A and B are shown apart, each in its own frame.
Chain A
Amino acid sequence: QSALTQPASVSGSPGQSITISCTGTSSDVGGYNYVSWYQQHPGKAPKLMIYEVSNRPSGVPDRFSGSKSGNTASLTISGLQAEDEADYYCSSYTSSSTPWVFGGGTKLTVL
């Protein structure tokens, strides 16, 4: 069982917006601003999409945005495109003995 909870799947049509949640505790998501999001296409390595809750690395489209409220972080993708179909993982620093944890992953399907 993953330390951070994500929905197993979400879906949306091209042009729509979707939001993926990542729920933790005050010991991880709620306690620190070290939340990141990763995109992984089948058979490929993950790619950093958001770091420190809401910052985008250079080259990541501004359709991708991140936020946090309490113990839940969120990744929002607006103007969905076919190439956004992938698995998405959140991660967070945690004060537990394992300092970084991932969510279980969310499969995004673009209908």
Chain B
Amino acid sequence: EVQLVESGGGLVQPGRSLRLSCAASGFTFDDYAMHWVRQAPGKGLEWVSGISWNSGSIGYADSVKGRFTISRDNAKNSLYLQMNSLRAEDTALYYCAKDNAAPVTGEFVYWGQGTLVTVSS
């Protein structure tokens, strides 16, 4: 059974940093691209970042470019999101999502339950 478990969320002040993690199991992690998708409270979905199976292809939403960094450790079956210079508008539930293929296709086949990030002073 595919499982994606996010962690690392919490309350953080504007301008500070946070690192999210996603532990994957139930599938061959390095066979698939992975993504982060967020959802602000009561709002819709927003794609944040994606990374191909071998980290050779990485993309970011304009809203986080230059502030967030996605990475993965295939040996640890883990996906990460380093978030710097956090803003109030980054407040959201952050989902880890498995792609449908090794290169990035943007088809989010499985989702974790999310980790909540709240940016507030």
Contact = CB atoms under 8 A, between A and B. Distances in A.
A64 interface: no
A98 B106 CA distance: 12
A104 B107 contact: no
A45 B95 CA distance: 8
A100 B47 contact: yes
Nearest to B44: A105
Nearest to A2: B44
A57 B105 CA distance: 15
A102 B47 contact: yes
Interface residues on A, range: 20 to 34
11 contacts: A34-B105, A46-B108, A46-B111, A48-B110, A97-B65, A98-B61, A98-B62, A99-B106, A102-B47, A104-B44, A105-B44
Interface string A1-42: 010000000000000000000000000000000101010100
Instruction: Determine the main DSSP class of B at the interface with A.
Output: loop
Given A45-B114, A99-B106, A51 B50 contact: no
B2 to A, nearest CB: 12
B111 A34 contact: no
B74 interface: no
